[in-house]
Structure 1
Amino acid sequence: MFETFAALAEPNRFRIVELLRAGPRPVSDIGERLHLNQPQVSKHLKVLKEAGLVDVQPKAQQRLYELKAQPLRELHEWLERYRQLWDARFDAMDELLEELQHKEKGHGRKPRQ
């Protein structure tokens, strides 16, 4: 999990992952779309590959890079646990606010503006 976060923390690598969501792409296309030169793209793709986020498939003279689903699924599952925790906390806060507003109305106070 740490490798996934570390790899995605760099903005250009995050942008590459976002671009690859649409499907496999060669290094040259990634560079053109993100305005990066080939050595930069290759360096970022190497880090993403080492983190297990992308895979490479040779096709004629090109190498196509594509996302690997498993690390992203694992990240989603990990984040989902925290989303559930925060949703529960926000629900509890909403209930408390409703209770306070109800009490305020019951005592004839005007709500603060």
Structure 2
Amino acid sequence: MTTFDDRQRAFEAKFARDEEMAFRVTARRNRLLGQWAAAQMGLTPAETDAYAKSVVQADFEEAGDEDVVRKLLGDLTAAGVETDDATVRRALDEQTVEARRQLMEAQ
């Protein structure tokens, strides 16, 4: 039974690592998205930092990315930036790749 127990513990440890990495990638991606949107809106560096944090917090409202997309679209539109859903989703995809790259380099 010890081989089975060892294998089970290994799978559980891998699952935990994978979930932690997914969470970190999502949080980093949201921060990068906030910085991207802040640049579009012409915010100052202090405002950019605060806005990026608010985008990270927005992701905790509901499961999935819709809450983040909704926040970005609303804020960009309110700031008078011409954008659409496809542009925000493209930025989301690009920042996901960048966040994953940054975290892989940090390891």
Taking structure 1 as the reference length, the TM-score comes to 0.30
Q: Which has the larger radius of gyration?
A: 1
Bigger helix share: 2
Taking structure 2 as the reference length, the TM-score comes to 0.32
Bigger strand share: 1
Using CA pairs under 8 Å that are at least 6 residues apart, name the structure with larger relative contact order, 1 or 2.
2
